Amino acid sequence: MRKKKLGWTLGAGSAVILGLGVAASGLSSANASSLDKSASIARHPVKVEVLSPERGDNAGVEGKGWIVDLKLSFRGKSLAGTGYNGLQLTGPAAHNNIAPFPGTFSTGQDDKIPGLVVLDSTTNSTLPGFSGPGTNLANLFNLSGVTDRTPHKTELWDTWIVGAPIVGQNVDTTLTVAVVDDLNHDGVYNDAPGVVKDLNGDGKIGAKDLDLMGVASNVVTVPFHINADPA
């Protein structure tokens, strides 16, 4: 009886273990991307969230008028350590770099959040200052501020209303956002490039190239559609 009981116990245990293995395998298959995303956020000191656009959105009017809205949470960093250096309310032409919260308006590294990289897969290369999909669009953002500060976290929000069809019209596109790592080791996230290079040589510029360059955050990609219809 004892041997049978032990045998039954081992058999049941094996079944339970197998069952857990199957369940775990099923969970992994069903939620792989979610688990990978959570793991990515956990191992980085900065968390990036793209609030707009959302995946699958049909955004804008005649290729413009759509909004990129970002939330950046820095763990264990002072405000100065985030690279942030001032409020921003700016835009093109007469709105560029004037009171009440001046900031420059161009492609390239953002003067207010200099560790931020924002890419779009269909960015053109024909307008002055634009170099195609590797162009860092972060310095085109219009509104930057500090939304939450605790002893353990600093939260910034950054917003851009797109005023021209710089990434095309009636086209599927992908937004890619990250905060670059402290590449020069000065204790500040201020090392975003003006143009991201094709570091892996696959003919595309996006998340893989940012990973190779070095990031302090998760890399967020958002596929969506640019609407060409008039208002």
Instruction: Summarize pLDDT for 132-187 with one digit per residue, the tens.
Output: 999 999 999 999 999 999 999 999 999 999 999 999 999 999 999 999 999 999 99
More confident residue, 129 or 8: 129
pLDDT digits (tens, 9 = 90+) for 118-137: 999 999 999 899 999 999 99
pLDDT > 60? residue 116: yes
Rounded CA-CA distance 138/129 in Å is: 13
pLDDT at residue number 42? 62
Across 17-21, 84-88, 91-95, 154-158, least confident range:
17-21
Whole-number pLDDT of residue 76? 86
Q: Dump pLDDT digits (tens) for 203-216.
A: 999 999 999 999 99
Q: Which residues contact 29 (CB under 8 A, 6 or more apart)?
A: none
Name the helix (H) or strand (E) containing 136: none
Over range 4-31, report the average pLDDT.
42
- Rounded to whole angstroms, how far apart are CA atoms 51 and 110? 19
Distance CA 203, CA 100 (A): 42
Residue 18, pLDDT above cutoff 50 = no
Residue 40: pLDDT band (50, 70, 90) is low
pLDDT at residue 38 in the model? 53
Residue 194 vs residue 10, higher pLDDT: 194
Q: What is the pTM of this model?
A: 0.82
What pLDDT is stored for residue 24 in this prediction?
Answer: 43
Contact present, 212 and 198 (Cβ < 8 Å): no
Task: Over range 16-42, report the average pLDDT.
Answer: 47
Backbone angles phi and psi of 93, in degrees to 5: 55, -125
Give me the phi and psi of 18, to 5 degrees please: -60, -40
Q: Say whether pLDDT at 44 is over 70.
A: yes
pLDDT of res. 28: 53
